[in-house]
Chain A
Amino acid sequence: MSDSATILPPVTERSSILRWMRKNLFGSWYDALFTLIGVWVTYWAVGGFLNWVLTVAEWEVIVVNARLLFIGQYPIEQAGRLWVWLGFLVFLAGNSIGIWARQSRVAVVLLLIPVLLAFLLPFGDEPRKWLSILSFAGLVGWAIGSARPEVLKRSVVAGWVISLPIIVLLTYGLSESESGIAPIVRTNLWGGLLLTFLLTVVGIMFSFPLGVLLALGRRSELPIIRWFSIAYIEVVRGVPLITILFMAQLMLPLFLPTGWTVDRVIRAMVGITLFSAAYLAENVRGGLQAIPKGQFEAAQALGLNGAQTMFFIILPQALRLVIPILVGQFIAVFKDTSLVAIVGLLDLVGIAKTVLAQPEFLGLQREVYVFISLIFWVLSYGMSYLSQQLEERLGVGIR
């Protein structure tokens, strides 16, 4: 009989930083060499960049043009409307965090970022006030959400659904007269991050359902629908976005009856939507193909018809499989909107070019482009992070 006392637990390695470094960084002479080279290159690159950021760069150009970069020519006295919908979005975000990610401390800290930025960066009084309100709205949403999660699930989803119309309505305005409530602000005044944001959101919201329909159409048993879908997808994927944007801006008026005009921003939105839909369709089709035949058979055997099978059984599984690819496409849409600068719209990149064209800011390309890159990166990474959370929550790869 074995004596249990003599059975020792497995040897655990004592961990210390030195031991870890020895194992991972200086395991052999060439490991050590690579480590040293790596450290030197990192120091040289990061050090050089930080030195530039902190001492050489003239950030004044950003501070002076902040308004242009964020909202373009949008009249400053109407900017309150934009803050209102931004506040609504942050409120919904806080609400969603409260409902679905109650344990996450990081998420709550995120809600405090606006107020922190307000006092760390050289903002004027008005933005400071609004940024503080944003954080407040987010925290209120979070508090309500975590207090009554089950009750609020439906209403917060409804909130997200109506948010796009609310955003567009508030941005565009209601009344024709100058003195009325929320006078109309023409789209030629929209610019900067505001325009980039709207192009992206509209592009994603409309291209997603269109892409799903095209993907289904490509697998349809009706030849006309299938051929149309294939032709559409292959034609659009075969041309660059920039040509579609040019077509929308320059050629569309030729086809419309005289006297008809379509707003230039809307033309760009349509172009982006049509372009992105073709790519989304192929991504979704990939997901559809990954669903085993048995799922279709089980649904049919139960008496579900074709539409019910797609809607309840196949699409939910297919879309969940392709979340990472879909979000990749959404991020691509976001960054691709910068191409509208070439057809003369003043999105974030377009406005940056006009800022740099002013004589007093000549030669400050680095500052401006680093700044807008940072904005693009923060928002892209935000989307990427959200999608990872979504995947985790939906249990991709587990269920």
Chain B
Amino acid sequence: MTDDLIIKVQDVHKWYGNFHALKGINMEVKRREVIVIFGPSGSGKSTFIRTLNRLEEHQRGQIVVDGIELSHDVRNIEQIRMETGMVFQQFNLFPHLTVMQNIVLAPIQVRKWTKQKAEEVAMQLLERVGIPEQAYKFPGQLSGGQQQRVAIARSLAMQPKIMLFDEPTSALDPEMIKEVLDVMVELAKSGMTILAVTHEMGFARAVADRMLFFDKGEIVEQGTPEQIFNNPKEDRTKLFLSQILRH
């Protein structure tokens, strides 16, 4: 494994009872790479991205993140979670804490930063995502787009090496999607390693280095946005793209 690889996934399988959700996934991610994962619902794409920080357990195969293998060892899991940020479809902000408290909690408790340092970093991040004036409000007082940007800032505060996005714009009203995508594009351009499950093809075209098409628990096809959009090889990819790009 070369130094340049940050994630290495080999023959990963997962079952939910009898349902075979992931059927032998193999893939690698290089540092600073931006990967978009797409595919029909139920294809295992969210499950896959969630195995990378072990929100889902894989039952066979090997996942190595930043040189640490994901296993039952709790310390390894915590180590990997410190290095990977995750943004969820439903934001999952902590509703009883202010925006600022949401962001500084993990750096203070996990990274053991001082409150002052954590708040300085939090403020910088809120400026980066464009909502410094909302720092002392509660999540419930913010719009969906603002909440998702707070969620991104919260993940970034841990200074992760990898960012995982699990359908970050699917729960948003159309007019708010752009403000979140803008933040993600800026993040991609800044050199962050990103894996994003999303159907925002504009985002994929703009910044993705590689796209993975998932169907029925397998990676059916992968390639650059160029190849995927202009010259898809597999019939399933063509069919799916024609369905989502029709409008």
Contacts and interface: CB of A to CB of B under 8 A. Distances in A.
Contact of A303 (B88, B106, B139, B140): B106
B81 A300 contact: yes
B22 interface: no
Given A305-B78, A399-B138, A298 B109 contact: no
B109 A317 contact: no
Contacts, number: 66
Interface string A291-308: 010110111111111001
Give the dominant DSSP class at A's interface. helix
Interface stretch (B12-20, B89-97, B235-243): B89-97
B122 to A, nearest CB: 13
Contacts of A295: 92, 94
B95 A301 contact: no
Nearest to A293: B92
Interface in B79-112: 81-82, 84-86, 88, 90, 92-96, 105-106, 109-110
Contacts of A313: 94
Contacts of B106: 302-304
A308 B109 contact: yes
Interface in A286-327: 292, 294-295, 297-305, 308, 312-313, 316-317, 320
Given A308-B109, A398-B140, A303 B78 contact: yes
SS class of chain B's interface: helix, strand, loop or mixed? Answer: mixed
B55 A297 contact: yes
Given A300-B81, A398-B140, A312 B95 contact: no
Residue among A298, A302, A317 facing the most chain B CB atoms (10 A cut-off): A302
A399 B96 CA distance: 7
B169 interface: no
A300 B95 contact: no
Given A298-B94, A301-B53, A398-B140, 9 more contacts: A294-B88, A297-B86, A298-B86, A298-B88, A301-B86, A302-B81, A303-B106, A303-B110, A316-B96
Contacts of B78: 303, 305
Contacts of A317: 94-96
A312 B154 CA distance: 15
Contact of B85 (A294, A300, A301): A301
- 6 A-B pairs with least C-beta separation: A298-B92, A302-B106, A301-B86, A294-B92, A303-B82, A303-B81
Interface residues of A, number: 21
B158 interface: yes
A170 B24 CA distance: 70
B88 A297 contact: yes
Nearest to A298: B92
B55 A302 contact: no
Contact of A301 (B55, B93, B105): B55
Contacts of B222: none
11 contacts: A295-B92, A295-B94, A297-B92, A298-B92, A298-B93, A299-B94, A301-B155, A302-B85, A302-B105, A304-B106, A395-B138
Q: How large is the interface on B (under 10, 10 to 19, 20 to 34, 35 or more residues)?
A: 20 to 34
A302 B88 contact: no
Contacts of B154: 302
B144 to A, nearest CB: 14
B155 A302 contact: yes
A312 B105 CA distance: 8
Interface string B132-170: 000000111000000000010011001000000000000
Given A298-B93, A302-B154, A399-B96, A312 B109 contact: yes
Contacts of B140: 398-399
A193 to B, nearest CB: 37
A395 B138 CA distance: 11
A399 B141 CA distance: 8
Interface in A352-399: 395, 398-399
A179 to B, nearest CB: 52
A395 B96 CA distance: 9
Contacts of A299: 94
Contacts of B110: 302-304, 308
Nearest to B154: A302
Nearest to B164: A301
Given A297-B88, A398-B140, A399-B140, A303 B94 contact: no
Contacts of B84: 301
Contacts of B155: 301-302
Contact of A294 (B53, B74, B90, B158): B90
Contacts of A305: 74, 78
Interface in B54-95: 55, 74, 78, 81-82, 84-86, 88, 90, 92-95
Contacts of B82: 303
A299 B93 CA distance: 9
Contact of B109 (A294, A304, A316): A304
Contacts of A304: 105-106, 109-110
Contacts of A294: 88, 90, 92
Nearest to B94: A313
Interface in A54-70: none
A384 B67 CA distance: 56
Contacts of A316: 96
B51 to A, nearest CB: 13
Contacts of B88: 294, 297-298, 301
A292 B154 CA distance: 19
B78 to A, nearest CB: 6
